Amino acid sequence: MKIIYKNAELDISSWYNEYVAKDPNTPQEILTKILRIGNDDWVSRYAALHPNCPAEILVEVLKRKKDNDVSCDAVLNPNFPSQILAKIIRDNTNHDIIRLCAVENPNCPIDVLEEILARKKYDLLAQYASKNKNCPLKAKIEWMIAVGKITKEDPQKHKIEYDEKLVDDTDFNKFKDLVSESKDNIKISQTKKDFIDIGYEQRAEPEHCMLEAQKAIGGGVLSLALEHGGDLIHRMNDPNTFEYGGYGYVKEKVDRLIYYLSNSYGFIKEHNENMEQNKKYRKIDDYTYNVNIETALFNYIQAHKKLKKYNRAHILANQVAISIAELDVNEALRCLYELKSHMSSEDEWVDFCRVNLVTKIDQNID
């Protein structure tokens, strides 16, 4: 590690790697140099999330206005100045995902969280504010009442009367009619904003759980698969590529994942070898290493299970991420091949991934 630091001092950027950016002992000056290179890669992302990263360089990253993954991670870092977080959130011209990351930051000012909830809106900004650990309970309860998440119930309303003569449950049958035989193709229309919002949601908790899982694993094929598999829903609902469902980006990730998982060498075999190498490098015992990975993967799975899914494409993409984390290669491949079967052309893909959308490409977002 000293050799790497020595070379890093000489600005030999090729020596910067994930191990340097993730090492808890990496000094501030090295993290600063990594971020000033200006790359949008995992080395920069780990540097931006590093607990030793100085506030000055985090602010400098944001001022570039690139609104990329490194910018998001810089804003998420608890070292980011709280007064600038407040400015980011209050400025509606900032990218939505940057504002959401600012709200999620544990250093977000309490008065800003209260201000967001006082708008009495049930949007992503408010939902993130309500989940911040610093959010005052009173403000959260008042917001939940205002948006209808908490109501006063009449105890008599829930009195159950059983009618033995009732044979056909009409209401239940109507509900079943909304669901296909596979029980996953819900026939309820959603707006363009609804679709884009689940892309933003994927970039929040699931994305951060993915980073934590990659930190726990330490690199290798599973780390790569978790990244690409978890990103599918975001890519198909990214506002910048919404018109064509992120076709090129999604197809590239689907093809890459199929290659990783179906490689003749064996995905699980390679993953196990990666784990052994990472344990030796980190000098960590088997029990601690395995527990850290299992915990991180569990959190990753739970975060992805919470995501909304409006059509078959969303369900398949979501299941890909979950199956990879569960190391269920066959199920992940099954879902990937089904996605790929709808990618023979951009038009076919758009038709598939926009099922249940009110209007495909001309819905306005406020």
Q: Is residue 60 a part of any domain in this protein?
A: yes
Q: Is residue 158 a part of any domain in this protein?
A: no
Confidence of residue 360 (pLDDT cuts 50, 70, 90): very low
Number of Cβ within 10 Å of residue 37's Cβ equals: 13
Q: In the prediction, which pLDDT does 122 show?
A: 87
Domain match, 200 and 113 both: no
Domain endpoint, select from 146, 167, 202 = 146
Within 13 Å, how many C-alpha atoms sit on residue 290's CB side?
Answer: 5
Domain that holds residue 328: 192-353
Q: Is residue 152 a part of any domain in this protein?
A: no
Task: Please give the structure tokens belonging to residue 51.
Answer: 């607990």
The tally of domains found in the chain comes to 2
Domain match, 110 and 238 both: no
Domain endpoint, select from 146, 181, 201 = 146
Confidence of residue 339 (pLDDT cuts 50, 70, 90): very high
List the single range of 3-7, 56-60, 64-68 with lowest mean pLDDT. 3-7
Number of Cβ within 10 Å of residue 227's Cβ equals: 18
Domain match, 124 and 214 both: no
Domain match, 199 and 310 both: yes
Domain match, 40 and 113 both: yes
Q: In the prediction, which pLDDT does 172 show?
A: 56
Instruction: Report whether 196 contacts 237 (CB < 8 A).
Output: yes
Q: Is residue 154 a part of any domain in this protein?
A: no
List the single range of 33-37, 68-72, 199-203, 209-213 with lowest mean pLDDT. 68-72
Domain match, 211 and 85 both: no
Non-local (6+) Cβ contacts of 241 within 8 A are 235, 247, 249
Give which of 56, 95, 86 is closest to 74, Cα–Cα.
56
pTM > 0.85? no
Q: Is residue 362 a part of any domain in this protein?
A: no
Domain match, 133 and 208 both: no
Residue range 345-359, pLDDT digits in tens: 999 999 999 998 875
Query: Which residues in 125-242 belong to E strands, given as ranges?
Result: none
Domain match, 196 and 343 both: yes
Q: Is residue 326 a part of any domain in this protein?
A: yes
Q: Is residue 151 a part of any domain in this protein?
A: no
Dist CA 362 CA 71 (whole Å): 29
Residue range 242-287, pLDDT digits in tens: 999 999 999 999 999 999 999 888 999 999 998 988 888 888 888 8
Domain endpoint, select from 82, 117, 146 = 146
The stretch 151-180 carries a mean pLDDT of 55
Instruction: Report whether 81 contacts 56 (CB < 8 A).
Output: no
Per DSSP, the residues of 193-222 read HHHHHHHHHHTTHHHHHHHHHHHHH-SSHH
The stretch 295-317 carries a mean pLDDT of 94
Q: In the prediction, which pLDDT does 11 show?
A: 41
Domain match, 142 and 220 both: no
Domain match, 132 and 215 both: no
Q: Is 80 exceeded by the pLDDT of residue 180?
A: no
Domain match, 40 and 136 both: yes
Q: Is residue 366 a part of any domain in this protein?
A: no
Domain match, 197 and 138 both: no
